[in-house]
Structure formats: C-alpha cells, structure tokens
Structure 1
C-alpha cells in the first residue's frame, strides 16, 4: 500500500505548526514531513514539537543537511526523539543546498564523500556501537551513545544526481526524492538505487519517498503556476497536480506506479488553509489511493 503524507512548509511561521500537526493527526494523515531549510526552521525542533503535540502521526525530517551537523549530534537528537516517540520518527539526511552551505562556511569539496561518511557513522551510532573513524570529514574517537534506540531507526538520504542516488541505495535505508521529480525520473532513480543496493550487498527493503507539488481549491491552478515560476519548471504536468481529490489521487497513483513507496504532497506556500490541506489529503485523497 502506498503511504501518503504532506509537508508543513518552512515558509509558514513556526507558530502555525501546532494547529497544522494536530489537524493532520486528528484527520488520520499517516505522515507529516518537515524540512530544515536555510534559514527558516530547524528540522529537529519542528519534528520534536509536532511529535509532542500529536498522538499517532509519524513525522519525517526530510532532510537534515549533513554539512551543517556533527554526526554525533545528529545521532543524539535522533536517538532521543526515537526513544521519546517510538516508531513515529522518520529521519532523512542529505547534501543540503550547496549555495546555502557556502553561505555558512560549511560547503565541502566532496559532498558525496561527506554523505557516505556521515551515513556510515550515523547508522553505526544508532545501532549502539562505539565508533572510531578518521575520515576525510568525519572524525570520531570512541564515540558511543549512552541512550541508543532499542532498535535503530531507518535512516533515509535525499539525493538528486545519479552518483548520490546510487549512494542512497548503497549506504542509506531509503531514498528521498525532491519535488520536481517526474514519474519517468522516478523510474530511473529506482534503477540507480538498485545499482547501489547491489554494490553494497543490501538485501532489506529500500523505500523511496517522493515529494509532489499539489494544490486544491478554487485558485489551485494559479497557485501551482506561481510554483512553476519559482522552481523554473517548463511545465507542471509531470511534477505536480492541481484539482479536486480525484485529480490529486490519480496523480499520487502515477508516482506510486512509477516506484514510490511514499508520496508526500507538497502544498504551495500561499495555500490559504494549511490545516484544511492536511484534512483534504487524509479524508478525501487517501480513500482513493490503494
């Protein structure tokens, strides 16, 4: 069955999070995703707050930029959240937007090397292991969590380029694909993930999460067109959907048929009713998605 989620966009002020998360929880939405976009909102702070304000909602952080973060700190934060809210935390890491990383003095020469080192160390720490590593970017000396999770959570990684997508298959437990990924591109990404899994000898399931631009309501087409301009797409036909529940559900099925295990609907930043969007996804779209 396809998992369905929605994004709390960091363009919304943090004080809107509680109402949006609670609307999602009460409506029965499966997953709420938050972002750590520079220089808006912290992924960990927003995820922890959303988890605390809700009862059953799973919360995904997609994604934490590894150049900004010491891997030990990331492991401590994720382990703490996983123990506080067992089974409800979904964690994703990635390169981050390189221009933003440059603005804060964190841009590295080889983002792929950093992501590999971060993933290997992070997954080991969350397994409760003592980690010693002297990498190009990650250095740990006898680091071991006092409070690792009882069972290590899956660590997903986000990627765009083919080398990074292969790395996700090899070194991560799942892959996050950005908004703007068409069904055709998703098929190609799934093949690259499989190449990485084969190279890494990975046998366990590897879920793929994809963001899809979505808008509903009387001005949906206009709002989605503004998103097209912002993101520089030639067309929204294969990267987003505007319309009623039937139209949105049909689009979700397209991405699911192309290989997505989870489709996360990404509303427009100017959506007039973010709480209503969560209810729309959970109450109207979900019943039409297998």
Structure 2
C-alpha cells in the first residue's frame, strides 16, 4: 500500500471550525473505471466508514441506477448518490419507479440527482431537447410528485402522464436533487428541487454565487425547507499528484481556472474542503483524477486522513 494511503501516526493539525458546522464528505467512483471495480471500492468505503459514495451516469459508460443498486446491496451503511441522471434519456415514470425502489429497499441511503446531461451526448442519441430548462423543470415537478405518492395527469411540453401513480412509492419522503451550473438552472433548482449538485469546476466564490441563486429561486416560490448544496472537488494526492491534477484540468479546459482542484496531502485537501464548506457547501465530494492509480486507497485516504481534519 502506498504510504500516502496509510493513516498517519502523527496527528494532523485540526482546522479551525465554526460552531455548529458539520460538513459531509464523500468520494466519486469515476466511470472511467470498469464496473467490476465498483464492488471493491464500495466495500472499502463501508469498511472505513466513508459517509457518501457518488456514481455518475456518463454516456456511454455505466448506468446510474444499476450501479447504485449494486453499491447499496454490497454495503451496509455508506450513502450512495447518483449524480446525475440526464433527463433527456429518461421517461419520468421510469425515473420515479427506479428511485422509489431504491428508497424502499435501502431506506435513507440513496440520493438521486437529475439534470440536463451533456448536450452533445444527448444529440448523439437523438434526445437533445430544444429547451433543456423546460424539460428539467417538468421532470422535477412530476418526479417529486410521483415519489410523494400523487397520481398525475400531465400535458407538458416534454412530460406527458395519463393517470400515473406509483404502486410502491417510498415509505418516507424522498428528496430529489438537481445538477446545475448556469444561473437559470440554479434558480430552477432552488425553486423545484430539494438540493443542488455543483461540478468540480466550481470555486469557493462559485459556491457562494450558486447558493445566492438557489436562494433566489427558493424565495420566488416561498420555499423554506432545507436545501442541500453538494459540490465536487477534483483532488489528487501521492506521487505525481500535481501533474495529474494539472493534466485533468487542462483536459477539461480549466487550466486557467482559479481556486479549482487541489493536489497534496490530507491537510491541503482538507483545507480546500473547508473553503468550499465556508462558502456554503453542505457536502463536499472528492473527485479523483480519471487516472487515479489506487481508487480503494483514495477512499481510505479520504476517510482516514482527510475526514478527521474536516469539522
């Protein structure tokens, strides 16, 4: 095992905290890994008491619901998030059926996120909508209502339902998050979702702005319930960490971005997490580089070395 992955014998300095703070910490299982790697990563996450494991439904790699169901079945306690399901690919009734099944089989352990998806990918499969914002709003409204046990008849621009209700809605309220980047989608998420997921291209200042826009949407619709903000943090540690981070940022067109990504030891990573939390993130999910050489070790590093430094 690489020494960067073993728990340090010397205590790290604990970062300063604000009274009442509690930041949740997670890790992404990148879909660049083959699906058969998921079992070992999931079991490691459970063994080291990682709080959250996140999965992506990236075209054309791995299905979000299928991998989430497997991860939940292979574990006992880790919370599993799917961030995100592209709504152009999915009939809302199917999304509701699959989401409800996860919530009933694994109560309190699943988080489902829906979003626009990458529009070029949507075009490849003939599903690119003329108005992604309209589609997402209709999908969110119908999905939340179906999961709440309502029976719907809807004649929207994209969502059409005729007397549809779930036979097996969740036993307890099921939250639905939205992935968002642009101002209009962030306001929509605040108004019509229960939480918002931000990409790894989001700096601390970007989190502050996103939280403001989400809150604008909430105020417009009179919502006062809690709204969770989740942000991915591109992170690299161990040998070659800085090089791997820079290569990934360059591949994503983010080489000139400020305050995006972190490379270094647990103290450096925890400090970056703390800055995002101070900016308004409730959950920070560490996103390893696509070429991370030791995914299980990255999970251990997060839970055993970074977690103790984050309030």
TM-score calculated relative to the size of structure 2: 0.92
Match of 1:105 among 120, 126, 133: 126
Q: CA deviation at 1:37?
A: 0.4
Distance 1:153 1:218 in 2: 41
Give the equivalent residue in structure 2 for 1:286.
307
Query: In the alignment, what sits opposite 1:56?
Result: 77
C-alpha displacement of 1:219:
1.1
> Of the candidates 96, 114, 129, which is equivalent to residue 93 of structure 1?
114
Show CA shifts across 1:212-266 (max 9, x none): 1000101111110110111111346511000000100000000000000000000
In the alignment, which residue of structure 1 is the partner of 2:159?
138
**1:153 Cα offset (Å):** 1.1
Q: Hey, what does 2:57 align to over in structure 1?
A: 36
Q: 1:248 aligns to what?
A: 269
Structure 1 residue ranges, 4+ long, deviating more than 2 angstroms after superposition: 234-237
| Greater shift in the superposed pair: 90-99 or 233-242 | 233-242
Question: Conserved in 1, the CA contact under 8 Å of 2:246 and 2:255?
Answer: no
Q: Counterpart of 1:22?
A: 43
> 1: distance between equivalents of 2:302 and 2:288?
10
- Structure 1 segment 181-220 matched on structure 2, within 5 A: 181-220=202-241
The higher radius of gyration belongs to 2
Name structure 2 gaps, 5 residues minimum.
Answer: 1-21
Of 156, 168, 186, the match for 2:189:
168
Provide the rounded CA distance (Å) in 2 between the counterparts of 1:236 and 1:24. Answer: 31
Mapped to 1, the partners of 2:122 and 2:249 lie a distance apart of 25
Q: Please, what is the CA RMSD of the aligned residues?
A: 0.7
Contact 1:131–1:144, Cα closer than 8 Å, also in 2 = yes
Equivalent residue, structure 2, for 1:65 = 86
Listed one character per residue, the Cα deviations across residues 161-220 of structure 1 (whole Å, up to 9, x for unaligned) are 100000000000000001110111111110000000001111101010000100010111
Cα contact 2:68–2:82 (8 A) shared by 1: yes
Partner of 2:145: 124
1:111-158 per-residue CA deviation (whole Å, 9 max, x = no partner) reads 000000000000000001101100000000000000000112110000
Tell me the alpha carbon deviations over residues 60-95 of structure 1, each in whole angstroms, 9 at most, x when there is no partner: 000000000000000000000110000000010000
Give 1:286 shift: 0.4
What's the secondary structure of 1:79's corresponding residue? helix
C-alpha distance in structure 2 between counterparts of 1:59 and 1:44, whole Å: 10
Moved more, 230-239 or 12-21: 230-239
Structure 1, residues 40-67: CA drift from partner, whole Å, max 9, x if none? 0000011100000001000000000000
CA distance in 2 between counterparts of 1:63 and 1:271 reads 21
Partner-residue secondary structure (3-state), 1:18: helix
Q: Distance in 1 between matches of 2:266 and 2:257?
A: 17
